[in-house]
Chains A and B, each alone.
Chain A
């Protein structure tokens, strides 16, 4: 386990974070439903989701958001250093029974403030060709 938090001297604008792909299955959605207490049927009841016009059940926006930030937490070296995080939910992540869904997360450093030791990271979060999170940005406190 690594306890080293990134130093402000090691971060520069344009730097890319190690990207990751997260697989989402129906099981992931049920697990998040329980953990988050967001029991909206759109996230686990296929018949209901289809009855309101969706192609299938969809992931909780907050689940996608909560998963995507791991790219930033792992990069900075301590989840407690994520001091701001915001996003728009632009497209739903459709999770099929058979294949689930794969969400790709990439991040790039947009700003670094040496005085406050804060860096702003922009995340690109996509599922296939869909941009599922919009304007996803996080601010981290560096060492």
Chain B
């Protein structure tokens, strides 16, 4: 199969900064039914000690997916996007993603395994502010089904 196993350990350059906006947080929170007012009401967020409204726990996927895309579209990696299934996702938040943050992600391919003709790829996106403050570590495992 075309998939390139030598990608284990590869790290990509930082992504362009993602500007976290209040309205995007509101839109995402509404879409997942997260009705904690800390996502939409600055007064509530500040009373709880945050600088501004904060994102729901899985919002980081928006930024992490931008990181992952670098690898998925890398022609050298040989990935057929249409055969890709999301297997696992994990977030470790160093602090909540907050409106006003500008976040860059650095993608590392942690492991590439072949299981029964399919490839299992685990990638890790280290998200931090442009000032270098760690915000979130997002780990994602995808399964790429092999052709027949």
Contact = CB atoms under 8 A, between A and B. Distances in A.
Given A34-B31, A74-B36, A87 B61 contact: no
Contacts of B93: 82-84
Interface stretch (A11-19, A35-43, A117-125): A35-43
A86 interface: yes
For chain B, the bracket of interface size reads 35 or more
B30 A35 contact: yes
Nearest to A140: B57
A82 B36 CA distance: 13
Contacts of B50: 80
A7 interface: no
Given A35-B24, A73-B57, A82-B57, 12 more contacts: A22-B33, A35-B30, A35-B31, A36-B62, A61-B86, A65-B89, A66-B57, A69-B57, A73-B56, A85-B90, A86-B91, A87-B88
Interface of A: 1, 3, 22, 28, 31-32, 34-38, 61-63, 65-67, 69-70, 73-74, 78-80, 82-89, 138
